[in-house]
């Protein structure tokens, strides 16, 4: 692989090199340093100092890359696209962030994301815990010259003010983002919310920040096509940032996460909702909270890797 290639450098083919061999990059894509230009960069953010229950998401990027070897990435029939032929996608490695100093880590993540956005059209971040969404949204605002539409897939609101006096945790990123006006309050929403809350005022506070909510129970009465249409109507033509906590999935489909909640989405529901968002102005995304120590047979890591591959297809369908 050289920087003189004009056509996109594609992943190593599983028909040539067995999928358990070859590069250790996501889906065996080229590294960012090996491509002349890059449309979409996939980057790891191995940070989990903001977790409130089970730690271990710092090992998420590594486990997602390993599970991504299993993917067949040449052609996606649901999108009718060859995502790595029509755009250059590369693995940008990991952003180094201080595991002992959250304030410093937040600055490192923001700076690392901004540097990547100067070289690409968008990034997909692999967490790491959900704390990372806050500095990523800071970077998106600077890159986009203003707030973005935020669609947040999660079992939890993540708009709480503090945990034990700490302002930056994986339960507070979107409260901090609201305080800095990093997302559009008329075009943002949560999807998949479920379970008990800390206070009866939690939903009221969340609504005051501008979020609309699609509760996970609504999947029982509405199909994924209807859910996707509601999201598209809310987002409109605004630049879209997707933040996907893997715990939006039921623990049966994603046991390897820090704060699992039962009665969640299925992987089928997840990918079909994403497919229904094709055509939106997606600018970047994250997939977070994969904690492989609690996983079994790479179930959670494979779900995350597949979601990231779905996101590369959404990027491929954007008419830029």
CA gap 304, 287 in Å, rounded = 7
In this prediction, residue 3 carries a pLDDT of 46
DSSP state of 190: E
Secondary structure class of 118 (helix, strand, coil): coil
In this prediction, residue 1 carries a pLDDT of 39
- Mean pLDDT per 10-residue section of the chain, whose length is 320 residues: 68 91 96 97 98 97 98 96 97 98 98 97 97 98 96 98 96 98 98 96 97 98 97 98 98 98 98 98 98 97 98 91
In this prediction, residue 284 carries a pLDDT of 98
CA gap 309, 40 in Å, rounded = 12
CA gap 31, 169 in Å, rounded = 31
Give Cα 156 to chain centroid, integer Å. 15
Q: 158: cis peptide before it, omega within 30°?
A: no
Query: What's the token pair of residue 77?
Result: 């029939």
CATH superfamily for domain 26-316: Ureohydrolase domain (3.40.800.10)
pTM comes to 0.97
CB 41 within 8 A of CB 119: yes
Domain positions in the chain are 26-316
In this prediction, residue 106 carries a pLDDT of 98
In this prediction, residue 320 carries a pLDDT of 60
């Amino acid at each position: 692989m050289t920087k003189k290639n004009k056509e996109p450098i594609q992943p190593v083919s599983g028909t040539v090199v067995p999928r358990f061999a070859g590069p250790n990059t996501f889906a065996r894509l080229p590294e960012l340093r090996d491509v002349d230009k890059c449309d979409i960069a996939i980057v790891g953010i191995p940070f989990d100092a903001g977790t409130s229950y089970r730690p271990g998401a710092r090992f998420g990027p590594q486990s997602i890359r390993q599970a991504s070897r299993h993917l067949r990435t040449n052609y996606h029939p649901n999108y009718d696209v060859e995502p790595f032929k029509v755009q250059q996608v590369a693995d940008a490695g990991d952003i180094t962030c201080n595991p002992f100093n959250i304030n410093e880590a937040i600055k490192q993540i923001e700076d690392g994301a901004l540097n990547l956005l100067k070289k690409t059209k968008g990034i997909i971040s692999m967490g790491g815990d959900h704390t990372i969404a806050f500095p990523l949204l800071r970077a998106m605002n600077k890159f986009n010259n203003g707030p973005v539409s935020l669609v947040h897939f999660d079992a939890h609101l993540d708009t709480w003010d503090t945990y034990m006096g700490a302002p930056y945790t994986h339960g507070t990123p979107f409260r901090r983002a609201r305080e800095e006006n990093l997302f559009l309050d008329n075009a943002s929403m949560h999807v998949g919310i479920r379970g008990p809350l800390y206070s009866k005022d939690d939903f009221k506070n969340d609504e005051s920040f501008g979020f609309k909510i699609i509760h996970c129970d609504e999947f029982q009465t509405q199909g994924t096509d209807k859910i996707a249409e509601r999201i598209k109507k809310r987002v409109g033509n605004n630049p879209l940032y997707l933040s996907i906590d893997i715990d939006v999935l039921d623990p049966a489909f994603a046991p390897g996460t820090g704060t699992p909640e039962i009665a969640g989405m299925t992987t089928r529901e997840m990918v079909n909702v994403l497919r229904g968002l094709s055509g939106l102005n997606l600018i970047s995304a994250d997939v977070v909270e994969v904690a492989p120590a609690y996983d079994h047979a790479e179930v959670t890591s494979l779900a995350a890797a597949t979601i990231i591959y779905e996101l590369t297809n959404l990027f491929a369908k954007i008419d830029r």
